[in-house]
């Protein structure tokens, strides 16, 4: 009896996952440009950033000296991280934002 119940529960799980009921995390921003030493903290480790890399909630992006990065949100807002900057991608009331930890950012906002 336990074996049949396990198979039934597994089948239901696969059905919901395949049907889109279990939604995977969606990207909140995209790296447009990564010049010099730009890294992203994702999946509990730091990795070198690449152009067009998706950024998710709680990802941290940092630039080293003589480096910069530009990220774009879905609403076409572009944020530039200057050298020696560290910022985290967050959500506030379902709206993505950049939480500056250190350094300097500038932004271009579409009206």
* Residue 1 reports pLDDT greater than 70: no
CA distance 98 to 86: 10
Lowest mean pLDDT among 17-21, 27-31, 46-50: 17-21
| 111: DSSP letter | -
Q: What is the pTM of this model?
A: 0.74
Question: Alpha helix locations (H) across the chain?
Answer: 2-18
CA distance 16 to 20: 6
- As a whole number, the mean pLDDT across the chain is 83
pLDDT in tens, 77-108: 899 999 999 999 998 888 888 999 999 999 88
pLDDT in tens, 20-40: 444 458 899 999 999 999 999
Closest by Cα among 27, 26, 30 to 72: 30
């Amino acid at each position: 009896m336990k074996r049949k119940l396990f198979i039934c529960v597994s089948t239901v799980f696969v059905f919901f996952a395949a049907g889109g009921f279990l939604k995977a995390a969606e990207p909140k921003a995209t790296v447009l440009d990564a010049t010099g030493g730009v890294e992203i903290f994702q999946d509990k480790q730091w990795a070198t950033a690449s152009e067009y890399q998706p950024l998710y909630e709680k990802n941290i992006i940092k630039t080293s000296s003589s480096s910069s990065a530009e990220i774009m949100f879905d609403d076409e807002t572009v944020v530039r991280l200057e050298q020696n900057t560290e910022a985290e991608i967050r959500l506030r009331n379902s709206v993505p934002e950049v939480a500056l930890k250190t350094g300097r950012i500038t932004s271009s906002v579409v009206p």
